[in-house]
Amino acid sequence: MSKLQDCQLQLDVTLQKVNNYISAKEKRPKELRGEATSTSSEFEELPLLDEEKEMQLCRLKVEEAEILEKLKDHVALLSEKRLSLSKLITDMGEKCLELGPEMLKDVRRIMQRGHDSGS
């Protein structure tokens, strides 16, 4: 059971790292908005480049949407894998609990045979 707990702990650590990674990636759209604001300010000084400004802002919005979609997909995948692993660990734990009494019966039988043959 210790190995299962180690696996669960490793999974929890990995999920924490993933959550930290996701948090960092979720900040990226905010950074992009900051860039967009900065870019917008710069473009306001140059009225001839309004078309370029709109193209850049659209590109940043598309990139932001793509990043968020990928993050959602990865979170969903990791959640599915964690749920699957948790189910496997639970199933294995139940199997171990089922096997425990059977193993004790075998030990009792062996001890009884040893005791009977020693008498």
Query: Would you report the helix, strand and coil content of the chain in percent, each value rounded to 5?
Result: 95, 0, 5
Residue 62: per-residue pLDDT: 92
Residue 46: per-residue pLDDT: 62
Specify the pTM: 0.46
Q: Mean pLDDT, consecutive 10-residue segments, the chain of 119 residues? A: 76 82 77 74 66 85 90 87 85 78 72 71
The whole-angstrom separation of Cα 60 and Cα 33 is 8
Q: Which of 42, 74, 76, 39 is nearest to 58 (CA)?
A: 39
